[in-house]
Amino acid sequence: MKRLLKYLKPYTKESILGPLLKLCEATLELIVPLVIAAIIDRGIGGKDPSYIWIMALVLAGLGAMGLLFSVVAQYFSAKAAVGFVTSVRHSLYSHIQTLSYNDIDKLGTSTMITRMTTDSSRVQSGLNLALRLLLRSPFVVFGAMIMAFTIDARAGGVFAIVIPLLAIVIFGIMLITTPMYKKVQVGVDKILGRTRSNLRGARVIRAFGMEESERADFVSDNSALTKAQKRAGHISALLNPLTYVIINLGIVFLIYTGAVRVELGDLTQGQVIALYNYMSQILIELIKLANMIISISKALASASRISSVFDIKPSQKYGTATAGAESDYEVEFDRVALKYATASENSIEGISFKARRGETIGIIGGTGSGKSTLINLIPRFYDATEGSVKLSGLPIEEYTKEALCKKVSIVPQRAVLFSGTLRDNLTFGSEGADDETVMRAVRIAQAESVVADKGGLDGRVEAHGANFSGGQKQRLTIARALVSDPDILILDDSASALDYATDAALRSAIREVSGERTVFIVSQRAASVMHADKIIVLDDGAAVGIGTHEELLSGCEVYREIYDSQFRKEDV
């Protein structure tokens, strides 16, 4: 939590005024039993109606002032809590953006979503309660005890015994439940991850008839979470009954001894009522305090989890180079290998090749052969665990992040569009691009008809591109990559949803405008890569063949098998 407190600095005034006004309200509340005692002893006992009316007006004034203090304190506390969590979320989101794919893989997507939503909301609720009650409740409790001593020292001794017992119960339960709530939140992460996975893969689950299996796994995880929540809940549930028992025993003892001493003349009836009211105030405040402590326990556990994300330092360090060196090669791989953080072995290894400026490089292989892994190293989504990657003669680590983003554009396998307009999507990352540049990229990507059908560049795009087909989304994402005019263009199986005619027209258009641009085409279709200047054939993470289409047909068995499976042999 200490790490996050810096985000509370802009709200220092609110964080001070909120508790301070609550203390003012609490002070007025402590005066009320004395006024009531005076009404009983002097007004009722002395049969003085005018005094009763005066004291009644005093009570009304105390109530009005207390209400005003409470409302203003609530406003300041809410403002500080909401502003604090807003700043934390902004900073957390910015921090996550600095993490590499490798860091994100270790952390997990569902974990990050939970930190940004559930954990942040719990911290907000906990801080709001802390600002309102963390000082007020103890102040009322100890203030009531002091006021009791001012009324009668012997009666105050009851308060001195009750309050430590309550403190033991409250803080004991808090110490037990805090780590338990941390475990509960881990279970929530697991449930969220499984739910997210099932929703994303719903069609696959249904296609293979795995609904019952997935349901059984979910029930198992959900049952474990339920048990953890029940264990924490059972202990937390002891808080209110135990505090009620202790307080009510104190009240019973107080009333009994008070009645005896009233008979003896040591105490007045008003003083006994005042002592009873102070004990009731303690009961109410401790119930509030108990509930607040449960919320704060959850908030501290959530704050610790948020801090753990901030503790993850970006594993990638960038250099200062904004341009490459003099080199004949745009991309160079030298014995490159990559092992993902969650994997037990290399996904690719021993990859070596060189791509000249202006060349078109095809990458082909079966599913899981390492195609996407290879091209993810070029924009530096991941760092090679072995070997080196160079762009324009410089090691990729020497470039600034901005220079890499400008130099390399990638169209991923899964076409992603954002809600907004077509213009917003096509100029994403190239905000300064004019409409002429955008439409030129649209024509190259064979997406002119798509844009026209939607009413031009101001056409609406729904979330995730829901109002576009798979092929339309792919063409639009290709156009988006072309708008930035990169030195290196990577098409990662980005034409899989296109028919052969559109795919051929797209490849032809890209070849015509490539010029000095190096193009990587990743595909499982031999037709998509066969006209490339160089083709890299991957199998089980290794490059089993590098050459032209003709060279690979004669010298690479894997490539020949892929080609023969897609074309009739008599057409070879």
For residue range 199-256, what is the model confidence (pLDDT) as tens digits?
A: 878 888 888 888 889 899 899 989 989 998 898 888 888 887 888 888 888 888 888 8
Q: What is the pLDDT of residue 572?
A: 42
The average pLDDT across 514-525 equals 83
* CA–CA separation, 368 and 389 (whole Å): 22
Report the alpha-carbon distance of residue 551 to residue 392 in Å, rounded: 27
Please give the share of the chain, as a percent, with pLDDT higher than 70.
99
**Within its chain, how far is the Cα of 406 from the centroid?**
28
Question: Residue range 389-393: average pLDDT?
Answer: 91
Cα–Cα distances (Å) from 191 to 122, 219, 334, in that order, read 18, 10, 42
- What confidence score (pLDDT) does residue 470 get? 85
Mean pLDDT on 110-123: 87
Using alpha carbons, list the distances in angstroms from residue 142 to 22, 37, 277.
15, 20, 14
3-state SS, residue 313? coil
Q: Determine the average pLDDT of the residues in 126-146.
A: 87
Mean pLDDT of the region 547-570? 84
Comparing 133-147, 289-303, 435-449, the range with the smallest average pLDDT is: 289-303
User: Residue 552: what residue type?
Assistant: L
Instruction: Find out whether 378 and 489 touch, Cβ atoms under 8 Å.
Output: no
**Nearest by Cα to 340 from 365, 315, 317:** 315
Mean pLDDT of 27-38: 87
Rounded CA-CA distance 253/273 in Å is 13
Which residue has 């939140």 as its token pair?
185
Q: What is the mean pLDDT of residues 39-53?
A: 84
DSSP string over 495-550:
TTTS-HHHHHHHHHHHHHHHTT-EEEEEES-HHHHTTSSEEEEEETTEEEEEE-HH
pLDDT of residue 552: 92
Digit-coded pLDDT (tens) for 74-114: 999 999 999 999 999 999 999 998 888 888 888 888 788 88
What are the backbone dihedrals phi and psi of residue 408, each rounded to the nearest 5 degrees, phi first? -120, 130
Query: Positive or negative, the Cα torsion across 18, 21, 23, 25?
Result: negative
What pLDDT is stored for residue 281 in this prediction? 84
**b/e map of 359-398 (b: 16 or more CB within 10 Å)?**
bbbbbbbeeebbbbbbbbbbbbbbbbbebebbbbebebbe
Per-residue confidence (pLDDT) for residue 1, from 0 to 100 = 63
pLDDT of residue 283: 76
Rounded CA gap, 126 and 122, in Å?
A: 6
Q: How many helices (H) and strands (E) does the chain have?
A: 21, 12
Give the DSSP H/E element, type plus range, for residue 167. Answer: helix 153-200
Instruction: Name the DSSP class of 468.
Output: S
DSSP-derived secondary structure letter, 457: T
Which stretch of DSSP H or E encloses residue 336? strand 329-338
- Residues 343-354 have a mean pLDDT of 89
Whether residue 569 is predicted with pLDDT greater than 50 in this model: the reply is: no
Please state the rounded mean pLDDT for residues 64-70: 93
297 near 159, Cβ under 8 Å?
no
Report the alpha-carbon distance of residue 73 to residue 244 in Å, rounded.
28
Contact 260, 269 (CB under 8 A): no
Report the alpha-carbon distance of residue 308 to residue 115 in Å, rounded.
Answer: 10
Q: What is the mean pLDDT of residues 416-429?
A: 90
Hey, what domains does the chain have and what are their CATH numbers? 2-310 (1.20.1560.10), 329-571 (3.40.50.300)
Q: Which stretch, 180-194, 279-293, 501-515, 546-560, has highest mean pLDDT? A: 546-560
- pLDDT, residue 184, reads 84
- For residue 356, the surrounding DSSP H or E stretch is strand 348-356
Residue 22 has pLDDT above 60, yes or no: yes
CA 298 from centroid of its chain's CA atoms: 17
d(CA 37, CA 508): 95
The pLDDT assigned to 81 comes to 93
The number of CA neighbours under 13 Å toward the Cβ of 215 is 5
Give 384's DSSP letter: -
How far is 104 from 97, CA to CA, in rounded Å? 9
CB 362 within 8 A of CB 528: yes
DSSP helix, strand, coil percent of the chain (3-state; round to 5) = 65, 10, 20
Residue 522, SS3 per DSSP: strand
Q: What is the largest CA-CA distance in the chain?
A: 120
- How far apart CA 273 and CA 6 sit, in angstroms, is 46
At position 540, the amino acid (one-letter code) is D
Mean pLDDT of all residues in 458-467: 88
CB-based burial of residue 155 (10 Å sphere; 0-12 exposed, 13-18 middle, 19+ buried)?
Answer: buried
Q: Residue 514's pLDDT is what? A: 65
555: which 2 tokens?
A: 């010298």
The fraction of the chain above a pLDDT of 90, given in percent, is 24
Rounded to 10°, the helix 136-151/12-38 angle is 30
213 closest CA partner among 185, 226, 227, 194: 194
pLDDT at site 568: 60
User: Average pLDDT for residues 481-495, to the nearest whole number?
Assistant: 86
Asked if pLDDT for residue 37 goes beyond 90, the answer is: no
pLDDT of residue 106: 82
Q: What angle do CA 176, 178, 179 make, to 5 degrees?
A: 85
Helices (H), 311-408: 371-375, 401-407
Count the Cβ atoms, other than its own, within 10 Å of residue 278.
Answer: 27
Instruction: State CA 445 to chain mean position distance.
Output: 35
Dihedral Cα 287, 292, 293, 298, nearest 10 deg: 140
Residue 535 has a CB neighbour count (10 Å cut-off) of 24
Give the integer Cα–Cα distance in Å for 54 and 279: 26
Q: How far apart are CA 478 and CA 353, in angstroms?
A: 25
Which residues lie across from 264 on neighbouring strands? none
